[in-house]
Copies of this chain bind each other. A is one copy, B any other.
Amino acid sequence: VTRDEASAFTGFAANPLDRRAGLRVNAEAIRSLAAGPVRVVVMCGERMVAAPGPPVEAAFDVATAARFGAGPDIFLGVGEDGTAWFGGQSQRAEDALKAEGLMVRDLRPLMVERAVDDATLAILGQARGLLVWHRTHPRCARCGEGTVIADGGWRRSCPACGASHFPRTDPVVIMLAHRGDACLLARKPVFAPGMYSCLAGFVEPGETIEDAVRRETLEEAAIRVGRVAYHAAQPWPMPFSQLMIGCFAEALNDDITLEDAELEAGRWFSRAECRAMLEGTHPEGLFCPPPAAIAHTLLRAWIEGAG
């Protein structure tokens, strides 16, 4: 399988697991996998549980996971070495886990610090996407009763009304709008000071990817977009499971008007300036998201002539 595609170099993309989706409905087969060599990714609320390193240990055998209050609830897939990977939600309090010497941390700093290798990071992202969905959807959206995990964690079933609910992944467009030698970057108030990134937004019912790119760019910056070119995709598990769809967008006008609520600053940046931002040498100290972010992938490809 060729891996020279742009998506393969985005964060959370290097997932090595064989998901064996056909096994999910087979509870006996999953129990049998859980009895062999296993790694369990454990979450406490919306944070990852890990043993401090180096190297940081972000998944555990079944007995250790049980000691941390988590079972092999969600079947993630099987690794190349035959290890079955699961996810589990700890039933213990964060402080109790910390008292045992464990780290209980958000996934984002683990990503930024490169605390685990790329393959493990991707598995943590997959686990987070599923576990957070289970955590935030304990009840039936149709009838209101409590639902239960089914199909190895790939479904929730309602014993009261019979409805099935499936893990949710929201498609999001993220685009680098460009015009001549310049591209449009902006910042939200929540960004670290000095950081600029691409515009982005959810794809809505009734839209193509390209129409969503045009709508969001117009809404957020009053920039009209013509041609849209898909470049790469990225699974992004924070705050919940999203599919980031990265595109280049040909801008048709220069005059940026920012939407008040979403963005606090935005302007055109030259290729040279973007290169300095990626390399950390921008004279004003401006910078871009880290390599794991698809905004970084888009920006680097554009500097090198894509789009």
Contact = CB atoms under 8 A, between A and B. Distances in A.
A206 B237 contact: yes
Given A141-B136, A144-B140, A130 B205 contact: yes
A215 B144 contact: no
A169 B203 contact: yes
Interface string A169-202: 1110000000000000000000000000000001
Nearest to A143: B139
17 contacts: A5-B228, A19-B204, A19-B215, A123-B206, A125-B205, A125-B206, A126-B204, A127-B206, A130-B205, A166-B170, A169-B170, A171-B171, A206-B235, A207-B235, A208-B232, A209-B233, A209-B245
A106 interface: no
Contact of A230 (B165, B230, B237): B230
A219 interface: yes
A247 to B, nearest CB: 10
Contacts of A152: none
Max count, chain B CB within 10 A of own CB: residue among A133, A203, A208, A230: A208
B206 A122 contact: yes
A19 B212 CA distance: 11
Contact of A209 (B2, B125, B204, B243): B243
A226 interface: yes
Interface string A4-16: 0101101011010
Contacts of A211: 7, 13, 15
Nearest to A208: B7
Contacts of A142: 136-139
Contact of A126 (B5, B144, B202, B206): B206
Contacts of A133: 205
A126 B2 CA distance: 37
